[in-house]
Amino acid sequence: MKQYKVVQTFPVPLQDLLRAREDRYKYLDRFPELKNVELLEERKEGNKVYQKRKVKLAESLPKVLATLLSDPSLLEDSVFDISTNTHEFTIAPPGNDSIVTIKGFSVYKEISPLESERSYEVKVSSGVFLMGSVIETVIEEIHRHSLEKDKNSISEFLKKSD
């Protein structure tokens, strides 16, 4: 199992960051980097927002994984708690969580009135015989890169909504 942390800061108040986090998926036409993300389901229960998204990976999937997956995509199940600004998620190939599973927890918080951050604690695990650690390393790299792309899309959204 691979574990890592990622901390990203944004030069905006926390409320702006939270709004951008939520609203950018409503304007996917403005964000070509999110074109491979499809919102399958969303519901609110009390302070929690439950989402299921499908992330299509055909272009970015390494050959070692492509051969193991009949559907080159990942499903993300997530819960965002509005009262604590925490996000818990599990990402895995449809019906194949033994190949690879990403479990994460992120916290959105205010650093100062004009600066906020989100921090991630992530675990990647694979049950593929002899290849598990290679797959975990590859997926960690892909996931870190996707978090950076996500940060950039939020930053762009914040600029456009000024």
Domain ranges across the chain: 2-160
User: Which whole number is the average pLDDT over 39-57?
Assistant: 90
Mean pLDDT computed over every residue of the chain: 87
At residue 64, the pLDDT reads 61
At residue 114, the pLDDT reads 95
The residues pairing with 41 across neighbouring beta strands, listed in sequence order, are: 52
What's the Cα-to-Cα distance from 117 to each of 67, 114, 159, rounded to whole Å? Answer: 37, 11, 17
Quick one: tokens of 113? 């009135």
At residue 33, the pLDDT reads 65
More confident residue, 59 or 14: 14
Q: Is the domain 2-160 a CATH 3.30.530.20 member?
A: yes
User: Which whole number is the average pLDDT over 28-35?
Assistant: 66
At residue 160, the pLDDT reads 74
The residues pairing with 148 across neighbouring beta strands, listed in sequence order, are: none
The identity of residue 113, as a single letter, is P
The identity of residue 44, as a single letter, is K
- Is 8 within 8 Å of 17 (Cβ atoms)? no
At residue 62, the pLDDT reads 62
More confident residue, 25 or 58: 25
Exposed e or buried b per residue across 65-103, where buried means at least 16 C-beta atoms within 10 angstroms of its C-beta = beebbeeebbbbebebeeeebebebebbbeebbebbbbb
Kindly indicate the confidence band of residue 161, based on its pLDDT and cuts at 50, 70 and 90.
Answer: low
For the stretch 75-120, pLDDT in tens is 999 999 999 999 999 999 888 888 889 999 999 999 999 999 999 9
At residue 38, the pLDDT reads 81
